[in-house]
Amino acid sequence: MIGYLHTVEEMAYHLSIHGADLQANLRVCGDFKGFPREYLEKRRGADGRIPVRTLDRGASSSAAAAEPTGYPGGPYDTSLLVKYEHHVARHIWFGEERGPKKELKVAGHGLKLTSRVPLALPPQMESWVSRSGLASLQRTSLNKIDTNLVSAFVERWHLETSSFHMPFGEMSITLDDVACLLHLPIRGIFWSPQDVTEELAVELAVDYLGVSQGQAQSHVRSCRGSYYKLEWLYDIFVHHRAASSWAYATRAYLLMLVGSTIFADKTFTLVEARYLLLFRDLDGCSGYSWGAAALVTLYRYLGDASMYSCKQLGGYPTLLQCWIHEYFPTVGKRGENWNPAGNCGLSRAM
């Protein structure tokens, strides 16, 4: 991936764009190799697909029928990118935007976390938070997400390959990027919690968040599913911190933290109740590969957002935007000047 850096810089320099202009310029708009433009314009069908036929003399009709079909501005062979028919890039080629607003709605909680994350936690909580491997998330979130920039890259994401398809090749966010940008552990147990019912979500809240049965039932019912509201978790954290119930306070705080960052939901206000299972044992949650969980979650939401029908992007947009700034440094300026000597030990996103 680093080997692409020089080429990427040259491309970004010649584009000399950022923000909304980048969104337009990064789109696939040139001729696709192997398809002369006049051939595309003459042969595409009503749905935008192109029946490909061999142009070689002497080719049999059966061989021609076996040829794959392609899309203008898109893949020639659709056997790999099988969902391209629903991809946003296909619709953009024909001038169809997602809606009145071209850019996605992005789940950024940076400003809310600024007010919810205290400058200093009580020592009893600080020990658990530090050992959990999630402490860096308290300070890494960007206050403002560049939705035009993020949307432009989402339009080049393909879930079949889990990579961005750029003019010069493919690029993707790796575990090494997560470790460098966020300082999350990438080694350890990879465990995806099972789905939970509303009844189990109530039991988990009673057992591990220290709320009453009635309060938990009322709250889960108001969420219309197995979710907790981030604001509700913050209130529980504040209540138990004042009551010196450190285990309950720490679980509510950590669940609110991951629900606002690496596990951010497209609802922008809720976090799935199943993630509370990760914090049942506060001494054991340090063994999880949080970096891998963050990356898998972002991959999943990028795949959803690359579809034309999707209007929101979940996951941790700070990770995506900081990755873009890291590998496309001339696209836009970083929020702060990075000084390795003065920021030794801090994550790159801070």
**pLDDT confidence of residue 183:** 95
pLDDT value of residue 266: 92
pLDDT at position 48, please? 55
pLDDT for 1: 39
- Alpha carbon distances (Å) from 130 to 14, 180, 183, 230, 253: 44, 18, 12, 21, 13
Which residues neighbour 67 within 8 Å (Cβ) at sequence distance 6 or greater?
Answer: 52, 53, 54
Quick one: pLDDT at residue 39?
38
Report pLDDT for 103: 87
Strands 169-171 and 163-166: antiparallel
Q: What is the pLDDT of residue 187?
A: 94
pLDDT score for 158: 96
Query: Which pLDDT score is estimated for 333?
Result: 60
Is the separation of the CB atoms in 77 and 68 below 8 Å? yes
Q: Are 202 and 217 in contact (CB under 8 A)?
A: yes
Cα distance between residue 228 and residue 222, in whole Å: 9
Domain boundaries, the chain: 31-100, 105-327
Indicate the DSSP class of residue 140.
-
> Which pLDDT value is given to residue 342?
53
Distances (CA, A) of 29 to 10, 78, 151, 199, 232: 19, 19, 16, 51, 46
Which amino acid, one-letter code, is at 216? A
Give the residue ranges of the chain where pLDDT is below 70: 1-69, 332-350
Angle at alpha carbon of residue 322, lines to 181 and 314, rounded to 5°: 100
The predicted pLDDT at position 14 comes to 38
Residue 316: CB atoms within 10 Å: 31
